[in-house]
Structure 1
Amino acid sequence: MHDDPSSIASLLRARYRRRLPSSLDELTGPEHGMVALPLHIAWSGLRTLDLGRPRQRMSLYRTVLAEGMLEDLCRFLNRDILLELWPVLHKLISRAIKDVWEEAFLELRP
């Protein structure tokens, strides 16, 4: 895939690419319980989410993928949960995020 360097989509993909962990194994976030996201990630809406509630778990993953930096991705996302959620999650996130993550990690490709 060749991006037009001046396109917004290309800039977004580059931004998300810089934040990627080198491996999904770096995603060591919690599997259960309540998670309080910092203001720089969840600047609007609910900031404390319950991983035991499917909608809140999905919301947390959408928000962290969109707004989190590398450290946040590793701290708040869990590899196994990401893999479990991906078949639905990839339809709920931006095309730029989906493309970057699926290009980087074979495990996420359909």
Structure 2
Amino acid sequence: MHNDHDSVASLLRARYKQRLPPSLDELSRPEHGMVELPLHIACSGVRTLDLDRPRQRMSLYRTVLAEGTRDDLCRFLNRDILLELWPVLHTLISTAIKGVWEEAFPELRP
């Protein structure tokens, strides 16, 4: 049973790894205003979020990290906001995503 869990975890890690931007500097989304997420990221629930509202901003980052392609990450995320949100954000995302991002970008590590 334990092995199944390990293989699922490594598949997830591989999937998130493929989506990583080459560097955090690629994340150049504006820091303010309304953002409408495409259906493939937010197929249910709220798709238009306000970056100036902290809860909505956190929700956007959490959703895009989990569901977004590499292009989406670069299009919807901002490096400075990601760094600012990370201390809380990393507790809201899966260990696979957290691990892959912190491995690739040491500046996210506590």
Q: TM-score, normalised by structure 2?
A: 0.94
SS for the counterpart of 1:91 is: coil
Q: By how many angstroms is 1:94 displaced?
A: 0.4
Residue of structure 1 equivalent to 2:34: 34
| Percent identity for Structure 1 against Structure 2 | 83
Q: By how many angstroms is 1:44 displaced?
A: 1.3
Q: Unaligned regions of 5+ residues in structure 2, if any?
A: none
The 5-angstrom pairing of residues 18-97 of structure 1 reads: 18-97=18-97
Q: Distance in 1 between matches of 2:40 and 2:77?
A: 16
Which stretches of structure 1, 4 residues or more, deviate above 4 A after TM superposition?
Answer: none
Q: TM-score, normalised by structure 1?
A: 0.94
Residue of structure 2 equivalent to 1:105: 105
Q: Distance in 2 between matches of 1:65 and 1:89?
A: 10
**How many pairs align?**
108
Deviations 1:43-91 (A, max 9, x none): 1110000001000000000000000000000000000000000000000
What is the root-mean-square deviation in Å for CA atoms of aligned residues?
A: 1.6
Which AA in structure 1 matches 2:63?
T
Q: Distance in 2 between matches of 1:42 and 1:77?
A: 15
Q: Distance in 1 between matches of 2:70 and 2:29?
A: 12
Q: By how many angstroms is 1:30 displaced?
A: 1.7
Q: Distance in 2 between matches of 1:50 and 1:58?
A: 10
Q: Distance in 1 between matches of 2:30 and 2:75?
A: 8
Q: By how many angstroms is 1:12 displaced?
A: 0.2
